[in-house]
Amino acid sequence: MPLWKDGKLGLPVKEAVRLFPELKNYLDERGRLDLSNREARILYNRAIAKALFGLEVEYHPRGLVTTPISRYLFLKTFLRGGEKVLEIGTGHTAMMALMAEKLFKCDVTATELDEEFFEYARKNIERNGARVRLLKSNGGIIRGVIPEGERFGVIFSAPPYYERPTKGVLTKREGVGGGKYGEAFSVMLIEEAKDYLKPGGRVALFLPDKKPLIDVIAEKGEELGYSVRDVKFKVGTRWRHSLMLNKA
């Protein structure tokens, strides 16, 4: 597992500043980083991606500032290494696709809907020399995007869960999960995934600590014949969930 010098999965601000000196502009008199500033968060997370995971990542100016550590911890809950995997909605950073390919030695296919995010993802894949197959989804989830007959050991996603677009955080096309709790996208994904998973394969969803959202997806998964397991993990001060649905 990637570690920093103190044996913990994290990066001291002073080390981040060495990688990106412009971070000095966002430090207070006590050397604390102003993480309420979007540019500071982007630079700090780029430093983490580089120092801990060996990844060179560019963020889209309007995209969600995903944290590399949370994505890595999520992947650790279900990847064993060497699997053929599919990520639905890799986003502008292609962060999890890159980690799955580089750190877990997986055969990775990833999809993305947004045109600008697709181009950012493509460039991030190229700058890291990764062998990730990137597909434009054009509004589909799995059906109509992935060739019929193709099978994966794992299908994973960090699905949208907001009930309405959140200005400045998610784009309009990204941010509408649909349904009472924003679960509609996830439910469609697990329905379609059954036809694209190998026997014994699994779906893994990166979800916030929102019990009603998790419960409705888990219940639908059980109706579809999946065995369901929820792994809760902490990133900084926040709890996140890896909801895993295993195909018989």
Nearest residue to 48 via CA among 26, 81, 71:
71
d(CA 169, CA 66): 11
Is 78 within 8 Å of 57 (Cβ atoms)? no
Beta strands in 69-175 (DSSP E): 84-88, 107-112, 132-136, 152-157
Band the pLDDT of 44: cuts 50, 70, 90: very high
Maximum CA extent, the chain:
59
| 34 pLDDT higher than 50 | yes
Residue 201: CA count within 13 A, CB half-sphere: 20
Average pLDDT score over the chain: 90
d(CA 246, CA 248): 6
Q: What is the pLDDT of residues 128-173, one digit of tens each?
A: 999 999 999 988 899 999 999 999 999 999 997 654 544 444 444 4
The whole-number pLDDT of residue 24 equals: 95
Which range has the worst mean pLDDT, 26-30, 134-138, 157-161, 189-193? 157-161
Band the pLDDT of 91: cuts 50, 70, 90: very high
Provide the whole-model pTM. Answer: 0.91
The whole-number pLDDT of residue 181 equals: 67
Judging by DSSP bridges, how do beta strands 238-246 and 227-235 pair with one another?
antiparallel
Q: What is the pLDDT of residues 217-245, one digit of tens each?
A: 999 999 999 999 999 999 888 899 999 99
Chain-centre distance of CA 105, in angstroms? 17
Which range has the worst mean pLDDT, 33-37, 76-80, 83-87, 152-156? 33-37
Band the pLDDT of 8: cuts 50, 70, 90: low
Top mean-pLDDT range of 32-36, 175-179, 194-198: 194-198
For the chain, domains (ranges, CATH) are 13-53 (no CATH), 68-246 (3.40.50.150)
